[in-house]
Structures are given as C-alpha cells and as structure tokens.
Amino acid sequence: MKENFEILLDKIKLINNEGWIESLRTGDTGVGYTLETKLGIKANSQKKPDFKGIEIKSFRKRTTGALVTLFSQVPNWKKSNSNRNEILEKYGYLDENERYSLYCSVYANNKNNLGWQLQSDENKKKIYIKHNNINVTFWDFEKIENRITKKHKETFFIFADTKKEEGKEYFLYNKIIHAKNSSLEKFLILLKNGKICHDFVMHRKKSGATRDHGFLWRIKNISIPELFEYNKEIILN
C-alpha cells in the first residue's frame, strides 16, 4: 500500500505531465488555487493540513529570498491588552488607495522603516512585536509550537515556473521540497537570523471595519529546508 506522500506525489506528477496550465484565478493566489483545484482540494483557511495529513504550499519560482507563508496566528490579544483595531488606528498610514492601512514585514534581526521589530524571549517564552522598542503585543511559544508542528508535520512545498501569453498566466509545477518534522527550536533560530518574519496585512474598509488577511508568519524560500529535520528535493520533468 502506498504512503500518503506517494499518493500525493503521483497526483502532482500527473498535473506536471499536462504541461503548462492556465491559472484559474488572477493575482498572487492563482498558483495555489489552480494546483489545489487540480488536486480536488476545496479552498479553505483551516488550520489542519490539506491532503491526508500533508500540508501543501505552492508558489511561483521567484528571486532568492522570496517569502512563503507558513501559517497565520493571531497574537495573545487577551493578555497583551491590545487588538487589531487599536494597532491599525495607532500605527496605520494612508496608502496609495487612500485607505488607512498597515502592510509590512517585521523581522527580529533589524527594525523596519516603520519602526517595527520582533524579539523572542526564551525566559518568558514569548515572541514580542515592538514598535520603536515598545512592546505592542506578543505570541506565546506554546501557541507557535502548536501551529508549526501540527500544520507542518509533513509538507509539500511546490514550485512553479510561470509565463504569460495574451494576458493570461500559466504554471508549470516542476519542483517539490518534501519536508517533515518542523520544530519550535528551528523556528526560533530562523526568526533570530532574519529568515522568518511576521507580516501585518490589514486596512480599514469604507464601512470603518478593519479587514485583515491574517497575522502571517512567513519564511524565505531558500530557508525552507532549515525548518525541518527531514527534507528532500524532487525535480519533475
């Protein structure tokens, strides 16, 4: 009997054999939506893995260091006495669409141009996000560990070449990193070294409500193997 990863690999090989596939959705999410649709997976934002215990992350082949989303996790709002509305109100700015917004990547190894920086505290077992050196909110190690080890116990990171013809985008899914057994320890090392970051992605809607796209934890694509105890690169024709 085949293992689940072998079943998934066979499915992706069949998709690869089709050659260039027209995107089923415009924009950044097209590469993932198209692949998961071909695999018969319905779009979802569930915390559990996508296919028989295996998480699927697909993305366009881009320049070295492009960011890949690992998971979304809100901070500990209750204990930090903060919330997304207050953060947007206090630290947001008017974007090019004249919306009040907060969009930026935040790293631990340096402060960004908006004054944000991450800091992990191993004594308190928390990851703080700071603005101009003042704590704004935090994530508990336990929550991060739970998310990373359950979401990425086993993962297929799938790379796609892209091309555009007559205004349409096409994908060729031809490289996989099969990874297993992530850990909080490895996550924190990558965080400290500036290889994992947190992304704010929120803005105020016309109704006055705050719209966010999750509180995203992202990793540089070249650093994916460092997060896992096991990883294997698979190249498809």
Q: What mean pLDDT is predicted for residues 84-99?
A: 92
Q: How confident is the model at residue 44 (pLDDT cuts 50, 70, 90)?
A: low
Q: What is the pTM of this model?
A: 0.90
pLDDT above 70 for 45: no
pLDDT of 108 strictly over 70: yes
With cut-offs at 50, 70 and 90, classify the pLDDT of residue 67. Answer: very high
pLDDT of residue 26: 92
Structural domain boundaries, residue 214: 4-235
CATH number at residue 83: 3.30.70.3570
What pLDDT does 4 receive?
94
Structure confidence at residue 66 (pLDDT): 87
Supply the pLDDT for residue 58. Answer: 92
pLDDT surpasses 70 at 171: yes
Task: Give yes or no for residue 63 having a pLDDT over 70.
Answer: no
- Higher pLDDT, residue 66 or 185: 185
Confidence tier at 24 by pLDDT (50, 70, 90): very high
Comparing 61-75, 169-183, 188-202, 223-237, which segment has the lowest mean pLDDT? Answer: 61-75
Phi/psi at 70 (5° precision)? -90, -50
The overall average pLDDT reported for the chain is 93
Written as one letter, the residue type at 170 is Y
pLDDT higher than 80, residue 97: yes
Q: What is the pLDDT of residues 209-220, one digit of tens each?
A: 898 889 999 999
Write down the pLDDT at residue 206. Answer: 86
- Number of domains comprising the chain: 1
- Is residue 197's pLDDT more than 90? yes
What are the pLDDT digits (tens) for 133-143? Answer: 999 999 999 99
